[in-house]
């Protein structure tokens, strides 16, 4: 609407200039010895010019109000304007992508939170639903398997080094990569 009002203001100013030019041409067309006719022409055109002046003042007031509103709105949407200028696009595109980001990020998040809340409230656990063992039982079972077979993981070979008049006994350790040192 601001662009429309500015176009309308420009059109009214052009109409005012046209009326004044038309009045001047009409007055100049009359001979100098017809002052009454010239005065009648001026009286005929004067209300039209005054009406245009009033309309121009009204349009200027509306334009000023619209510009103040745009400045107040510009403070609120300043980041969107900055992004539009940074990516060389219009504000509508920036707002559209912002809405898409909100939808694609927060809708799945909301669904996940609802599902997590329902699982927490119902108290059903996976092992209860599917008849599996509880976690503690699974951990205990794994630990007992490790204890019973941990001797399999201990090194068995001992190496004896003699040197400098001393004897060293070490185990056959594996270095990184599984190669013997």
pLDDT tens for each residue of 11-33: 999 999 999 999 899 888 888 88
Whether 179 is covered by a domain: the verdict is: no
Q: How many domains does the chain have?
A: 2
Domain membership flag for residue 61: yes
Summarize pLDDT for 66-79 with one digit per residue, the tens.
Answer: 888 777 766 677 78
Does 137 have pLDDT greater than 80?
no
Give domain status of residue 176, yes or no: no
Q: Please check whether residues 8 and 67 belong to one and the same domain.
A: yes
Q: What is the pLDDT at residue 53? A: 92
Q: Which residue has the higher pLDDT, 90 or 120?
A: 90
The three-state (H, E, C) secondary structure of the chain, written as one string: CHHHHHHHHHHHHHHHHHHHHHHHHHHHHCCCCCHHHHHHHHHHHHHHHHHHHHHHHHHHHHHHHHHHHHHHHHHHCHHHHHHHHHCCCCHHHHHHHHHHHHHHHHHHHHHHHHHHHHHHHHCCCHHHHHCCCCHHHHHHHHHHHHHHHHHHHCCCCEEEEEECCEEEEEECCECHHHCEC
In-domain check, residue 86: no
- Mean pLDDT computed over every residue of the chain: 79
122 occurs within a structural domain: no
Question: Is 53 contained in some domain?
Answer: yes
The reported pLDDT for the residue numbered 86 is 92
Position 48 in a domain: yes
Domain of residue 69 covers: 2-76
**In this prediction, what percent of the chain has a pLDDT beyond 70?**
71
Domain membership flag for residue 82: no
Mean pLDDT of 144-169: 64
């Amino acid at each position: 609407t601001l662009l429309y009002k500015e176009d309308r203001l420009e059109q009214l100013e052009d109409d005012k200039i046209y009326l004044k030019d038309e009045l001047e041409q009409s007055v100049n067309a009359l001979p100098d010895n017809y002052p009454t006719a010239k005065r009648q022409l001026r009286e005929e055109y004067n209300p039209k010019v005054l009406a245009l002046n009033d309309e121009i003042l009204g349009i200027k007031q509306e334009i000023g109000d619209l510009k103040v509103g745009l400045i107040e709105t510009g403070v609120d949407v300043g980041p969107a304007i900055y992004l539009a200028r940074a990516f060389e696009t219009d504000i509508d595109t920036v707002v559209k992508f912002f809405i898409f980001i909100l939808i694609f990020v927060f809708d799945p998040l909301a669904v996940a939170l609802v599902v997590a809340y329902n699982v927490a409230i119902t108290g059903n656990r996976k092992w209860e639903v599917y008849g599996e063992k509880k976690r503690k039982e699974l951990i205990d079972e794994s630990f007992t398997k490790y204890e019973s077979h941990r001797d399999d993981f201990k090194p068995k070979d001992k190496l004896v080094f003699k040197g400098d008049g001393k004897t060293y006994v070490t185990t056959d350790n594996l270095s990184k990569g599984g190669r013997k040192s």
